[in-house]
Amino acid sequence: MFYYRRADFFTTFAYLNFYAMYPEMLVKPMKSELTNAGFEDLITPTAVDNAVKREGTVLLVFNSVCGCSAGAARPGILLSLKNDKKPDYLTTVFAGFDVEATAQARRYTLPYPPSSPSIALFKDGKLVHFIERHHIEGHSANMVAENLKAAFDEYC
């Protein structure tokens, strides 16, 4: 096992990003489910900062390779967009692949612990709604969609 010891936090994340958990050929089709629907793929910490700090509402999806992401999160997110009220911006990071961007995005969702998949809704740079993995895992895409639609109706 290789142990990487470096005091510089961001350099450590750069190292981890070089050794992403998942290969691109596995991740690409899962990313495209959202990017083909108009989601902005945030692949750098700066892109995350710029997206979250926008005026208006920003939906940020922590995408992942797990079964609950494929079976409930992504389909539920896409169903939720068939609503009268929707976020102004649709964004996504991919956990285990875009390591630095995901780490930066998770700073904005504190005090919630890191979980993937998860879904955050921001309004004028403030976190107003968060769906953790345990609210997705074991639930249907329709339940995820209804949760998001209620948030959209309240905040968008």
The residues annotated with a catalytic role in the active site are 66, 68
Angstrom distance (rounded) from CA 54 to CA 133:
25
Q: Is the dihedral of CA 148, 150, 153, 156 positive or negative?
A: negative
Counted residue by residue, the chain has a size of: 156
Cβ distance 30 to 69 under 8 Å?
yes
Buried b (16+ CB within 10 A) or exposed e, 59-77: bbbbbbbbebbbbbbbbbb
Cβ distance 145 to 73 under 8 Å?
no
Looking from the CA of 68 toward its CB, the CA atoms found within 13 Å total: 18
